[in-house]
Structure 1
Amino acid sequence: MEIKHPEWLQLKTGSPIVYGYNQEWYKTSFQKTRGCGPTAAAMLLLYLNKREGGTLPYQDHSISTIIEILEDVWKFVTPNWLLGLNSTGKFCRGVNVLAAYYGLSWQCRELSLSAFRFKRQSLFQVVKFLEEGLASDCPIAFLNLHKGRVIALESWHWIVLVSLSYDESQNCYLATCYDGGRLLTFDLGLWLETTRFGGGFVYVAVKIS
């Protein structure tokens, strides 16, 4: 299962393709080191904006215009000095304030995963949430506070999930994400089982009246 237009979050400025936006595009060193959350939020918002016909005053034609959008999103989805944007709740509060500011009936849907393994949702529940988001044609922000045994991931980091598939040969769910220009795929169940600090998932959807 995949979002309908993953190419909307790709930049074909040359070779290779740039998969998603990069927090390194922010202006200050602090933003560059803390900016993964607002970068992920910008990707979710721009995708929904394009899907819904341009309700936000955002365009994504070039890296220079995306940088302007990143700066605007930062005003609302703002990491703190010590821990950055370290929860789905903080992420959602910022996105909801941004949506209200622009008069949009958009809302975050979140799944927070505890640091305590016995409190975490099951793999079945996580897959169900992700499939609901992807089926609604929404990219999903993934907060990974600890990568566990998944070598491809970076701890204390937000990236954007664009597809999920089940690999029968490996008996696992494979999540495909965009991370600062990279395309990466990882074993969702392995992460859920081995992460020490948890994390969570968020997607932005249009409110149903």
Structure 2
Amino acid sequence: MTTKSLSNLDLFKILDKTTNQSYYGCHQLWYPKKWQRLSGCGPTVATNLFFYLSHNQALLELEKASNSKENWIALMEEIWEYVTPSMRGVHTTQMFYTPLRAFMESKGLNVEYRFFNIPKEKSQRPEFHQILNFIDEALTQDVPIAFLNLDNGEAKNLDRYHWVTLISLEYTEDGTHSFVNILDEGRIKRVDLCLWFQTTTLGGGFVYFKIN
């Protein structure tokens, strides 16, 4: 098995000082408004990506209080103003990467992005090894990937019409077995990526950013 992972997963550790509970990555249910909690997976994942990129490369100073739940919620609200869900949520990769790039540039960061769409029509989909190469490429550069799942098929630990943060990849060279670890609901979950690709009926997509 080939394994690739982000180098600094502890950056995603968030402490709720009220309950003393720890999380990995933020949770859309932390948004204060009902509509935000229902549709906020896109901006939540955008928050994870921005925080990791900006702090892992020391472009923004990481203060001791930065891993508090309150600070993460404030960042989630700020990013919501850019990555704002429509009535159908953030249902395309373009609805994710265009406003997130604008947000990052508003912070003075020079960024570029790459995306990889998985069409609904199976006849138009890429080969599975191309997805593995895309994810491997991102993790080799130590950047997290935003994963849009429009239909989870038979894969477990995934919700339909949902964004999650992909943090590691494990796969066989022939591509017959592939698993990813994702951040979702403040937890790390393991997903059978090969099974998802084989059984999803609507497809989805992947996006990653890197700072120049």
In the superposition, the TM-score normalised over structure 2's length comes to 0.90
What are the superposed Cα offsets for residues 23-73 of structure 1, whole Å, 9 maximum, x if unpaired? 011110000001000000000000011022234899732000111000000
Match of 1:126 among 120, 128, 131: 131
Q: Which residue of structure 1 lines up, in the alignment, with residue 85 of structure 2?
A: 79
The alpha-carbon deviation at position 94 of structure 1 amounts to 0.8
**Displacement, 1:183?**
1.6
Matches within 5 A, 1:145-160: 145-160=150-165
> 2:58 aligns to what?
53
1:154 CA drift (Å): 0.7
Q: How far apart in 2 are the matches of 1:140 and 1:106?
A: 14
Q: Which residue of 2 aligns with 1:6?
A: 9
Aligned to 2:73: 67
The alpha-carbon deviation at position 187 of structure 1 amounts to 1.2
Counterpart residue identity of residue 109, structure 1: R
Secondary structure of the equivalent of 1:165?
A: strand
- 1:113 touches 1:121 (CA, 8 Å); kept in 2? yes
Contact kept, 8 Å, 1:162 with 1:176, in 2: the verdict is yes
Q: CA deviation at 1:10?
A: 2.0
* Superposition RMSD in Å: 2.1
Structure 1: distance between partners of 2:189 and 2:198: 19
Structure 2 counterpart of 1:72, which letter?
E
Aligned partner letter, 1:41: A
**Structure 2 vs 1, CA of residues 56 and 201 (structure 1 numbering), >3 Å: closer, same or farther?**
farther
Amino acid corresponding to residue 156 of structure 1 in structure 2:
Y
Counterpart for residue 47 of structure 2 = 42
Question: Aligned pairs, how many?
Answer: 205
Residues in 1 aligned to 2:22 and 2:165: alpha-carbon distance in whole angstroms: 16
Partner of 2:111: 106
Is the Cα contact below 8 Å between 2:114 and 2:207 reproduced in 1?
A: yes
Q: Helix, strand or coil: the match of 1:152? A: coil
Structure 2: gaps (5+ residues):
none
* Distance apart, 1:100 and its partner CA: 2.4
Matched, 1:142 2:152: no
Unaligned runs of 5+ in 1: none
Is residue 2:203 matched to residue 1:198? yes
Q: Cα gap change, 1:57/1:18 in structure 2, threshold over 3 Å: closer, same or farther?
A: closer
The TM-score normalised by the length of structure 1 is 0.91
Which stretch shows the higher mean deviation, 40-49 or 55-64? 55-64
Q: Percent identity?
A: 32
* Residues in 1 aligned to 2:193 and 2:113: alpha-carbon distance in whole angstroms: 22
CA distance in structure 2 between the aligned counterparts of 1:48 and 1:89, rounded to whole angstroms? 19
* Corresponding position of 1:164: 169
CA distance in 2, matches of 1:99, 1:18: 24
Tell me if the contact between 1:46 and 1:60 (Cα under 8 Å) persists in the aligned partners. no
Name the residue aligned to 1:186: 191
1:20 to 18, 25, 30: 25
